[in-house]
Structure formats: C-alpha cells, structure tokens
C-alpha cells in the first residue's frame, strides 16, 4: 500500500482547510523555536534541569503572549 502524490495533495488540502494557512505558519514557527531551544540546551551542558525548565517555560510563555497579541 503505497501513498501516491495525489493522496498527499488531498491530505495537505484537508489540513489547510481545517487549520488555515496562518495557524499552520504559527505552528511551524513554534516548532522551529522548540528545535532551536533544544539544540541550544544540548550545547549548554553546565545548566541544571531547573534552569533548562525555567528557560523552556519562559519561551512557552512568550509564545503564548505573542499568539494572544495577534
């Protein structure tokens, strides 16, 4: 059972119709921020779990504030 090009196109159209272009762009931006934070966390091994958790919650709060503002 192979997934063809047309099936992928239909799934993409359904996703865009359900969520809208703006919501998908916002979601992808949040994913990118999360990946960036994760990589940054890997490069800073001296941080404790509490420090990383505080930074992550701060990033989440900023993202929530930005989404409320728009």
Q: Could you read off the pLDDT of 2-52 as tens digits, one per residue?
A: 878 999 999 988 888 888 877 878 888 889 999 998 888 777 666 577 777
Asked whether 41 and 47 are in contact (CB, 8 A), the reply is yes
pTM check: above 0.95? no
Instruction: Map tokens 């090009």 to a residue.
Output: 5
3-class SS letters over the chain? CCCCHHHHHHHHHHHHHHHHHHHHHHHHHHHHHHHHHHHHHHHCCCCCHHHHHHHHHHHHHHHHHHHHHC
Residue extents of the structural domains in the chain = 20-69
């Amino acid at each position: 059972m192979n997934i063809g090009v047309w099936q992928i196109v239909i799934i993409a159209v359904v996703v865009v119709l359900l969520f809208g272009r703006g919501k998908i762009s916002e979601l992808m931006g949040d994913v990118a921020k999360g990946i960036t934070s994760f990589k940054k966390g890997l490069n800073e091994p001296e941080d404790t779990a509490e420090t990383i958790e505080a930074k992550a919650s701060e990033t989440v709060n900023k993202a929530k504030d930005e989404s409320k503002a728009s």
